[in-house]
Structure 1
Amino acid sequence: MMICVLLLTPKPDLFEPLSTNVNALLNFLSNSAGNPFFLITTFVLCLIPVIKHLPRKKLASLYVQFALLLVLSFALKTGLKSATEVPRPYSYALAEVGLVDNAASFYQLEPALKDELIERIASKVSSARIEQWHGETNYAFPSGHTIFVAICILFWGGFLLRNNHYITAGILLTWGVGVGFSRIWLGMHWPTDLMASTVLASLLIFCVPNINFENNHQVSNTVN
């Protein structure tokens, strides 16, 4: 479902003004999966099994596996960004108004100069976009936000579905789609970045073994 929504998301005009409410909503969604606010999201999600009153060993199993997924996803994201060097959509907007020669040249600049160029275009771009552009001047692919969101949906969404919490799982999925939409609409990512990142997260979920402290600390490849 998430990939279908991303495929149907139209290419945004980054110079199109956004209302105050839309600015706030897009910023909230994007920030909820970014640094440092992803920690709050992680904390909230980790409360789910606590509310279910799971045994301590089961809680430990879930938390260790989720932490392992996050660490591996961060390493994967960092490595791929350096290897692929895909410019973000907003760097093309900077080139369009003549602030840089081309999108790729933006990434050769010093951080302070990057921020200065973004600030020069602030009068033509919505505040939510400018805030996000200032916050992330590295390359686009893959999307760390999307990898985080996809892992949350697959890991905690799967847990919720196995425990028949369909409404909560639906809310989690809706949040994830909203984050993906916000990343495209704010000019931070291409739809292909998000789709590939979702696939990468799925592969991580599949490859990381299930950790079970309840059965003599055994580690299996079967997902509970």
Structure 2
Amino acid sequence: MRSNPPANPYFPVVILWSGLTLIPAAIYLGGLSLFPWLELSSLKAQLLYGLTSSGTAPYGVLTVLAMQLACYWLLPRNQLAPLLFSVGLAMGLSLGLNHFLKPYFGHPRPNVQLLAETQGLSIIDFYRADNSKRHSMMAQEMAKLADETELSLSPKIAQHWQDEVGYSFPSGHTLFAVTLALVVSYFLLAAQRFLFASLLCLWALAMGFSRMLLGMHWPQDVLAASLLGGLIALLALLFTEKWRAIG
């Protein structure tokens, strides 16, 4: 038998959402740019790459499965089906919206902007090319990177730059992390699993920082993704609760 929900079950999620948007909003409004602050061959950069990989295909699927497995042990059994439904709905909405918004806005990534400023890469020609050609152009530019700039990249981060050649706005990794963290936290908070919910939100916040520090996204990309992630999470949760009420 399911217990009665609290009067406003979404309020804790809104509070967490506010926290996830506050820091990127402060960075954006303060006119700060976190790239290229970090030496991208350092241990810190490689740890950030490991973090960002948790939102990169196909590892993002493993992240979702790991969270579902953790919730299997942390949540009452009658919460698992609504959790699966809401996570699936939220992930589908976030992927679809991200796929539409990136080409619609067409903003270049910070690393592409850097290559344009330091090595003369044509941003227009780069984004007019298909993905396979972009991969080749990025590899050619990165071969000259160490000679023409002081920036050095670890092999994994260099490969990440070559793989991620799409547009910048919004941050798909941040959208994935914020949406997933807020949806799962809704059920964790209802079960009074406050520590795990807090850790999930810290992971989502760190995801945004990793994207900015690795040169993949601007602060406005992360801010927009955080705002959209909260909206998608709330929409999925509202729909799930309507479904539960009908059932």
Per the TM superposition, whether the score is higher than 0.5 is yes
- Per the normalisation by structure 2, the TM-score is 0.78
The answer to whether the Cα contact below 8 Å between 2:126 and 2:137 also exists between their aligned partners in 1 is: yes
Between the aligned residues of both structures, percent identity stands at 27
147-156 or 181-190: bigger deviation = 147-156
Aligned partners of 1:15, 1:104: CA distance in 2, in Å? 26
201-210 or 107-116: bigger deviation = 107-116
Change in Cα spacing, 1:58 to 1:189, as seen in structure 2 (3 Å) is same
Deviations 1:52-95 (A, max 9, x none): 3633x532221022111111111110011121101111111111
Change in Cα spacing, 1:15 to 1:197, as seen in structure 2 (3 Å) is closer
Q: What are the equivalent positions in structure 2 for 1:8-157 lying under 5 Å apart?
A: 8-9=26-27, 10-14=32-36, 17-18=39-40, 20-52=42-74, 54-55=76-77, 58-101=79-122, 103-109=123-129, 110-123=133-146, 124-127=151-154, 129-157=157-185
The structure 1 segments of at least 4 consecutive aligned residues displaced by more than 4 Å after TM superposition are: 211-215
CA RMSD of aligned residues (A): 2.3
Aligned partners of 1:171, 1:112: CA distance in 2, in Å? 35
**2:186 aligned residue:** 158
Q: How far off its partner does 1:122 sit?
A: 4.6
Q: What are the equivalent positions in structure 2 for 1:166-177 lying under 5 Å apart?
A: 166-177=194-205
**1:205 aligned residue:** 233
Q: How far off its partner does 1:37 sit?
A: 0.9
**1:222 aligned residue:** none
204-213 or 79-88: bigger deviation = 204-213
Q: How far off its partner does 1:16 sit?
A: 5.4
Aligned partners of 2:21, 2:65: CA distance in 1, in Å? 26
The answer to whether the Cα contact below 8 Å between 2:38 and 2:213 also exists between their aligned partners in 1 is: no
SS at match of 2:165: coil
Aligned partners of 1:202, 1:53: CA distance in 2, in Å? 22
SS at match of 1:114: helix
Change in Cα spacing, 1:154 to 1:15, as seen in structure 2 (3 Å) is closer
| 1:3 has 2:21 as partner | yes
The answer to whether the Cα contact below 8 Å between 2:108 and 2:168 also exists between their aligned partners in 1 is: yes
Aligned partners of 2:42, 2:72: CA distance in 1, in Å? 37
Change in Cα spacing, 1:163 to 1:192, as seen in structure 2 (3 Å) is same
Q: How far off its partner does 1:115 sit?
A: 3.2
Gaps of 5+ in 1: 220-224
2:152 aligned partner, one-letter code: V
Structure having the larger proportion of residues in helix: 2
Change in Cα spacing, 1:4 to 1:118, as seen in structure 2 (3 Å) is farther
- Per the normalisation by structure 1, the TM-score is 0.85
